[in-house]
Amino acid sequence: MIVRTLKDCENSERRVVSENWESTRMLLKDDNMGFSFHITTIYANTETHIHYKNHLESVYCMSGNGEIETLADGKVYPIEAGTLYILDQHDEHLLRGGSEDMKMACVFNPPLSGKEVHDKDGVYPLD
């Protein structure tokens, strides 16, 4: 059994901070579960280009607000507490923080190793 607290993970190397977001990676590839689990904060009034060519992601908004725009068709979807979005087609998108930070629970398959940040194309490398 694996037991971790968010507080403990936030105070460790599992917390990765970027200009537009921070992510606490609570479950990673080396935990051998076949997926990774993260608590991510998208900062208010930011825009992040993301294109997970190598990963599928499911995201549940626990608090805050923002929006996601899929670049293939220009559709914009509002995000607020209780919204789930699933990037099941490796959807290239813009993730925008709204008037307040968004706190998100995220699951990645395949799992992340822990230190990933988006490259110039919004991609996480495949480990």
Q: What is the pLDDT of residue 122?
A: 59
Kindly report the pTM of this predicted structure: 0.90
Q: Is residue 120 part of a domain?
A: no
Q: Structural domain tally of the chain?
A: 1
**Mean pLDDT (whole number) for 33-39:** 97
Q: Is residue 118 part of a domain?
A: no
Q: What is the pLDDT of residue 124?
A: 66
pLDDT tier for residue 10 given thresholds of 50, 70 and 90: very high
Is residue 30 within 8 A of residue 113, CB to CB? The reply is: yes
Domain range for 12 is: 6-109
Q: How far apart are CA 115 and CA 25, in angstroms?
A: 9
pLDDT digits (tens, 9 = 90+) for 48-77: 999 988 889 999 999 999 999 999 999 999
C-alpha torsion 77→81→84→87, nearest 10 = 60
pLDDT at 123 over 90: no
pLDDT at 40 over 90: yes
CATH code, domain carrying 82: 2.60.120.10
Q: Is residue 121 part of a domain?
A: no
pLDDT digits (tens, 9 = 90+) for 76-122: 999 999 999 999 999 999 999 999 999 999 999 999 887 766 666 65
